[in-house]
Amino acid sequence: MRYPDYVKQFKPKGTIVKKVNDTYYAYYATSKRVPDKKYPVQVIKGLAGRIDESGFHRLSKAFVETGHVVVRECGFTNFLLKFEEEYISRRKERVKERRNLYRSMIVYLSNNSYLNDDPETTLYSVSEMTERFQIGIPNQITAISKICEYAMEELEPLKYICSVTMGNRRFESELTGTQKRLLERIGIEEDDIRRG
């Protein structure tokens, strides 16, 4: 197999190179004699790293605590938080209560929102919103739709943009084609809806 010059240039000694899709990987390898064979047999010991135009990148091991995994929605929540100030300006309660009402509505619409874990937010139950603040949930959903100019059903794919935490490591879900097209249509960059 012919490799690009950079693969030959950066290949570490004692390794062999294999191409997987469009990536070149270097593997630790040795050879050993096997009875009844004329030539030594190659033995691969493990992955050393990958090679690209900028050099050899050693495999780094990351240990992730998988006993406790937290998945939180961030796309839908962060999109609606862009309209928080406008919602607050339309209600009569104290600012903190209005903010908590709006955030409670977001959690009502997306149960797995990261706002569930926000120590700065007091979330109200549906009964508390209706009895204490005399708000109708359908009316609030309509009000939010008018403010953001999108029906909640249209924004549904944003609910599957999540952050995943395992121990002290955080990962982000990869966007689907539908999510990318929706972000493009509503004029939002991916970084703007990721949890900050």
- Asked if residue 134 and residue 54 are part of one domain, the reply reads no
What are the φ and ψ backbone dihedral angles of 10, each rounded to 5 degrees?
A: -100, 0
Among 194, 112, 123, CA closest to 159: 112
pLDDT, position 170: 82
Report the sign of the C-alpha dihedral through residues 179, 181, 186, 190, in that order. Answer: positive
What confidence score (pLDDT) does residue 102 get?
94
Task: Note the pLDDT of residue 93.
Answer: 76
Same domain, 94 and 188: yes
Judge contact between 174 and 86, C-beta under 8 A.
no
Do 37 and 126 lie in a common domain? no
pLDDT on residue 73: 95
Kindly tell me the sign of the dihedral angle through the C-alpha atoms of 8, 13, 15, 16: positive
CA 24 to chain CA centroid, nearest Å: 26
Residue 43 lies in a domain: yes
Integer CA distances (angstroms), 168 to 43, 61, 66, 68, 74, in order? 36, 15, 10, 10, 18
3-state secondary structure of 142: helix
Number of domains making up the chain: 2
pLDDT at 172: 87
**Do 108 and 142 belong to one domain?**
yes
Residue 19 identity: K
pLDDT at 184: 93
The domain containing residue 17 runs over which residues? 5-58
The reply to whether 92 and 171 lie within a common domain is yes
Same domain, 23 and 96: no
Average pLDDT per consecutive 10 residues, the chain (196 residues; last block may be shorter):
84 87 86 82 84 85 71 95 91 86 95 94 93 88 93 95 85 90 91 77
- Confidence (pLDDT) at 65: 63
Residue type present at position 118: D
Q: For the chain, how are helix, strand and coil distributed in percent, rounded to 5?
A: 40, 25, 35
Q: Residue 106's pLDDT is what?
A: 96
Q: Which of 58, 82, 101 is the last residue of a domain?
A: 58
